[in-house]
Structure 1
Amino acid sequence: MEFVKVAAVADVSEGKPLAAEAGGHKLLLAKVAGTVYATQRRCPHLGFNLCRGKLEDRATVCPLHKARFDLATGEIERDPRLWIIGMKAKSGLQTYPVRVEGGDVLVGV
């Protein structure tokens, strides 16, 4: 696994998602309580950009259907709110290891 610089620590604001890329992977970066997390950027259900959503505690929420995912594990904390079409959670988010070195955020890909 290679760790790639994706952002400066100063660019990752507490409680606000940030889009980044590393090795062809489109990422969401988030800082919660001083810890930086990296997950896939697109919701696994309908592919919506999670950077347009919001953070709640240590989770990201899809702005389209309100599915909620744990930033550390990628696990689904709340299923999509699309019960009318019978949508159930298919999978969680892919997460990536993060290192902070000096003023840089590095993600393992």
Structure 2
Amino acid sequence: MSEEFYKVAEMNDLNEGKLYPIEVDGEPICLVKLEDGVYAFTDNCTHISGPLNQGEFDGCAITCPWHLARFDVRTGKVLRGPARQDLYTYTVKIEGESIYVGLPPLEE
């Protein structure tokens, strides 16, 4: 089974470099528009679920407001602990001005 895509925003809803928290089918997700595209990642830090949309964003890195774990939003990679697990990133599709995020299929 393939991902299911959900329309989450329009391109003009996003300002470059500003975090845009959304919820898709119960999943907290954060969008960010960068020079090279729109990225989507889980809005919960992998350390102890800090709200990443409230963190500091700089360049392509998000810093969790709780314990300062840092991640690359393009890849989800941990850049600085205490988090050890990478962020989950989502597939983003842009059709016209509409932004869609793909959720993985539910495991049965």
Q: How does 1:1-109 map to 2 (within 5 A)?
A: 1-80=3-82, 89-109=83-103
| TM-fit CA distance, 1:24 | 2.1
The runs of at least 4 aligned residues of structure 1 exceeding 3 Å deviation read: none
Residue aligning to 1:85 = none
Give the conservation status (yes or no) of the 8 Å contact 1:41–1:49: yes
Give the conservation status (yes or no) of the 8 Å contact 1:43–1:49: yes
Deviations 1:2-24 (A, max 9, x none): 11101111111111111112222
Q: Letter of the 1:8 partner, please give it.
A: E
CA distance in 1, matches of 2:95, 2:50: 31
Structure 1 stretches lacking a partner, 5+ long: 81-88
Q: Letter of the 1:30 partner, please give it.
A: V
TM-score scaled by length of structure 1: 0.86
Structure 2 stretches lacking a partner, 5+ long: 104-108
Give the conservation status (yes or no) of the 8 Å contact 2:39–2:92: yes
Q: Letter of the 1:90 partner, please give it.
A: R
| TM-fit CA distance, 1:34 | 4.5
Q: Which has the higher strand share?
A: 2
CA distance in 2, matches of 1:62, 1:41: 10
TM-score scaled by length of structure 2: 0.86
Give the conservation status (yes or no) of the 8 Å contact 1:74–1:94: yes
Q: How many residues align?
A: 101
Cα RMSD, aligned residues only: 1.2
| TM-fit CA distance, 1:92 | 1.1
Q: Letter of the 2:42 partner, please give it.
A: Q
| TM-fit CA distance, 1:40 | 0.3
